[in-house]
Amino acid sequence: MRTIIKNGHIFTESEDYQADLLIEGGKIVCVGRKLPGDEAEIIDAKGCYILPGAVDVHTHMDLDVGISRAVDDFYDGTVAAACGGTTAIVDHMAFGPAGVPLHHQFEVYKKLAEGKAVIDYGFHGTAQHVNDEILEELAAMASDGIPSVKVYLTYGFRLNDADVLQILQKMKEVGGVTAFHCENHEVVEFLKQKYKLEGKTAPVYHAKSRPNLAEAEAVSRVLNLARMADDAPVYIVHLSCKESLEAVRDARRHGQKNIFVETCPQYLVLTEECYRREDGLKYILSPPLRTREDCEALWEGIADGTIQVVATDHCPFNYGIEKQMGKDDFTACPNGAPGVEERLMLMFSEGAAKGRITMNQLVKTLCAEPSRIYGLYPEKGVIQPGADADLVILDPRGSYVMTQERMHGAADYTAYEGMQITGEIRKVLQRGKVIVDGGKFLGKKGDGRFIRRKGLN
Q: How many CB atoms lie within 10 A of CB 192?
A: 18
Query: Sign of the CA dihedral 57, 63, 68, 74?
Result: positive
Alpha carbon separation from 348 to 241, 283, 337, 340 (Å, rounded) = 21, 22, 20, 14
Q: Which of 27, 123, 73 lies closest to 451, judged by CA?
A: 123
Q: How far is it, in rounded angstroms, from Cα 371 to Cα 127?
A: 22
We find the least distance from the C-beta atom of residue 196 to ligand URP, in angstroms, to be 19
Query: Which of 182, 170, 181, 147 is closest to 372 using CA atoms?
Result: 147
CB of 181 vs ligand URP, minimal distance in Å: 5
Residue 206 interaction partner, one of Zn ion, ligand URP, none, beta carbon < 5-8 Å per kind: none
- Applying the rule CB under 6 A, the residues between 267 and 286 that interact with ligand URP are 285-286
> Should residue 314 be labelled a site residue for ligand URP when binding is judged by CB under 6 A?
no
335 binds ligand URP (CB under 6 A): yes
Q: Nearest distance from residue 72's CB to ligand URP, in Å? A: 12
> By three-state DSSP, how is residue 28 classified?
strand
- One-letter identity of residue 359: M
**Cα 169 to Cα 263: distance, rounded to the nearest angstrom:** 25
Instruction: Rank residues 157 and 450 by Cβ distance to ligand URP and give the closer one.
Output: 157
How many Cα atoms within 13 Å fall on the side-chain side of residue 339?
Answer: 29
Pick what 268 binds: ligand URP, Zn ion, none; C-beta below 5 to 8 Å, kind-dependent.
Answer: none
Q: Compare residues 56 and 272 and give the one whose CB is closer to Zn ion.
A: 56
Lay out the site mask for ligand URP across 157-186 (x = CB under 6 A, - = otherwise).
Answer: ------------------------x-----
For residue 90, with 0-12 CB atoms within 10 Å meaning exposed, 13-18 middle and 19 or more buried, which class applies? buried
CB 49 within 8 A of CB 9: yes
Length in residues, the chain: 457
- Nearest distance from C-beta of residue 444 to ligand URP, angstroms: 29
Instruction: Identify which of 84, 415, 53, 409 has the alpha carbon closest to the alpha carbon of residue 269.
Output: 415
Task: State the nearest-atom distance from the C-beta of 313 to Zn ion, in Å.
Answer: 4
Q: Which stretch binds Zn ion (CB under 5 A): 93-101, 181-189, 363-371, 439-447?
A: 181-189
Kind and range of the H or E run holding 119: none
Q: What track of x and - describes contact with ligand URP for positions 56 through 95 (by CB under 6 A)?
A: ----x-----------------------------------
Q: Which of 38, 7, 88, 57 is closest to 447 using CA atoms?
A: 88
**Chain CA centroid to CA 45, Å:** 27
3-state secondary structure of 299: helix
Close Cβ partners of 253 (under 8 Å, ≥ 6 residues apart): none
Least distance to ligand URP, CB of residue 241, Å: 14
Could you say which of 77, 316, 326, 336 contacts ligand URP (CB under 6 A)? Answer: 336
Beta bridge partners of 152: 181
Instruction: Work out how close the CB of 203 gets to Zn ion at its nearest, in angstroms, rounded to a whole number.
Output: 18
Nearest residue relative to ligand URP (C-beta) = 335
Shortest spacing between CB 222 and ligand URP, in angstroms: 15
CB of 72 closer than 8 Å to CB of 80: yes
In the complex with ligand URP, the residue whose CB is nearer, 118 or 237, is 237
Residue 335 binds which of ligand URP, Zn ion, none (CB < 5-8 A, kind-dependent): ligand URP
Position 364 contacts Zn ion (CB under 5 A):
no
- The nearer residue to ligand URP, 94 or 130, going by C-beta atoms, is 94
Q: Give min distance, CB of 48 to Zn ion, in A.
A: 32
Supply the minimum distance, in Å, between the C-beta of residue 36 and ligand URP.
47
Nearer to Zn ion, 336 or 448 (CB): 336
From 150, 172, 181, 426, residue interacting with Zn ion (rule: CB under 5 A): 181
Please select the residue that binds ligand URP; options are 72, 262, 313, 412, rule is CB under 6 A: 313
Q: Assign 19 to helix, strand or coil.
A: strand
- Is 408 an interacting residue with respect to ligand URP (CB under 6 A)? no
In 3D, which of 240, 248, 245, 302 has the Cα closest to residue 271? Answer: 240
- Provide, rounded to whole angstroms, the least separation between the CB of residue 20 and ligand URP: 40
Contact call for residue 313 and Zn ion (CB under 5 A)? yes
DSSP state of 64: B
Nearer to Zn ion, 49 or 267 (CB): 267
Query: Looking at beta carbons only, is 79 or 182 nearer to ligand URP?
Result: 182
Q: Which residues contact 309 (CB under 8 A, 6 or more apart)?
A: 57, 260, 261, 262, 263, 365, 366, 369, 370, 373
Task: Give the binding-site size for ligand URP (rule: CB under 6 A).
Answer: 8
- Residues making contact with ligand URP (CB under 6 A): 60, 181, 285-286, 313, 315, 335-336
Q: Rule CB under 5 A: which residues touch Zn ion?
A: 181, 313
